[in-house]
Amino acid sequence: MTDPARMHAISHETTAIVEDVLDYARRRALYEDIPLDKPLNPRDLARLAPNTITDRGIGARRAAALFENVLAPACLSTDHPGYLSFIPSAPSKAAVAFDVIVSASSVYGGSWLEGAGVVYAENEVLHWLASEFGLPEGSGGVFVQGGTIGNLSALVAARDAARRRNRVAEVADPDRWVVVCSAEAHSSIASAASVMDVEVVTAAPDAGGRLHGDAVAAALDAHGDAVFAVVATGGTTNFGIVDDIASIASVTTERGVWLHVDGAYGLAAMLVDRMRPAFEGVEFADSLIVDPHKWLFAPFDACALIYRDPAGARLAHTQHAEYLDTLTDSADWNPSDLAIQLTRRARGLPLWFSLATHGTAQYRATIDHGIRLARRIADEIEARDGLSLVREPQLSVVVFRRDGWTLADYQAWSDRLLDDQVGFVVPSAHAGEPVLRFAIISPLTTWEKLVEILDTLA
């Protein structure tokens, strides 16, 4: 008969498993030559890693070998210096190492009662970020899975606040609530609206992709009290453009509409002193997000969701059940009360450890590296025959074109680049035109690597 405690007991078998796994983790974390790798199709994976889930198991050594030699190489390494698509991830070695400790410690990050120490550490990071973004003392929040959940949670809190105001004023809710955002806002805003069954009204940005207060005011004039929130973007994903948050905040403050700033990618740039003027107005946000797994060098998955007034978020998100009374009847700071989640990993701890280890000055310098490198490679693109910028970069995203190329040309080039393990750069699009895009996050991404990629376009 199988011993029920076999998986958990301290034995020669479990000791060997832990040592083998930690040995691989150590080797992977300390790779000096990070592999880019590439996906395999399902048929090849089924041939190379067949029947791994069986009645008696295949054993730790074989499972680990399959992961290291088959499954992991079938995944792109988002920390590779040539991974320049989407928004890369480049976690610090300190953050990666501590992520192992978070799992090994079996700590729960949903309530103060169960995880006071880890919640305290996460809150230290959240309070530092809130201060950097100009939010008042008393602001706070929670680390959630990613920007999509962060935006959804913030908008749910915004709608709840609007409903409560209507009840106090004895005003009926609109037939359909409305959220206003830029036409270049992240797709997660439309996704959140779909989940919430509310309408998205897009306000037109200027020719440079930047949303201004006058366009927001026009949308509010058209839709009146049905608008429960306006979303400004602190660095669009496709171009890295920062909306005119100050003028938008002026409109939302005057009209009493909730302002949410989606800074999932770009808001980290505000930690660089010379970039702060681009984000003027963030200090008036009712809520905001920034993703540490993007430009704050933390592992997947972590989004910092911060509220100006966390009490309002608690009213919207606290779950009530008899078995939770011991939590909800207390005045403790429970992260599970601030977003669409109950059970949560203490996903902010790797960032806390990395910040505590390296200090904020190192973070500022590393973020600045990406901004300066983007500007430099943009100038190089402009100087090359046959290449041209689509827009001037504002943060660390550079969008450009190869004159005369079709989408098929871009895709064939992208496939060759990956096949040759030089880099991962996929086509994007703007106004119906296929384009290329560098998203520069990793401090390991060098000028030489970017030039090497450009040379393949000649």
Structure-block tokens of residue 405:
């190329």
* CA–CA separation, 226 and 206 (whole Å): 25
Instruction: Examine the domain organization and report whether 347 and 294 are in the same domain.
Output: yes
Is pLDDT of 171 > 60?
yes
Residues 227 and 318 in one domain: yes
User: Is pLDDT above 80 for 1?
Assistant: no
Residue 27 C-alpha from the chain's centroid: 26
- Of 357, 380, 405, the last residue of a domain is 357
Helix (H, G, I), strand (E, B) or coil at 425: coil
Q: What is the pLDDT of residues 42-66, one digit of tens each?
A: 999 999 999 999 999 999 999 999 9
Asked if 305 contacts 125 with a C-beta cutoff of 8 angstroms, the reply is no
Q: Are residues 192 and 256 in the same domain?
A: yes
* Confidence bin at 9 (pLDDT 50/70/90): confident
Residue 85 lies in a domain: no
The gap from C-alpha 110 to its chain's centroid, in whole angstroms, comes to 20
210 & 287 share domain = yes
Sheet holding 387-389, edge to edge: 387-389, 397-402, 433-439, 428-430
Q: Quote the number of domains for the chain.
A: 3
Q: Count CA atoms closer than 13 A to 259's CA, side-chain side.
A: 29
Note whether 141 and 255 are same-domain residues: yes
Please give the radius of gyration of the chain, using alpha carbons only, rounded to the nearest integer. Answer: 24
Domain contains 89: no
Phi first, then psi, for residue 289 (nearest 5°) are -135, 155
Q: Nearest CA to 335 among 356, 304, 308, 295?
A: 304
pLDDT band at 415 (very low <50, low <70, confident <90, very high): very high
The three-state secondary structure class of 91 is coil
pLDDT at residue number 222: 97
- Whether 92 maps to a domain, the answer reads no
Q: What is the residue-averaged pLDDT of the chain? A: 96
Residue 87 lies in a domain: no
Domain end point (choices 299, 322, 357): 357
Count of beta carbons in the 10 Å neighbourhood of residue 37: 16
Instruction: Examine residue 380 and state whether it is found in any structural domain, yes or no.
Output: yes
Residue 331 pLDDT > 90: no
The answer to whether residue 2 scores a pLDDT higher than 80 is: no
Range of the domain at 396: 360-455
What residue has token string 């955002």? 181
**Rounded Cα–Cα distance for residues 19 and 57 (Å):** 19
**Among 103-107, 136-140, 326-330, which is the least confidently predicted range?**
326-330
End-of-domain residue from the set 324, 357, 390: 357
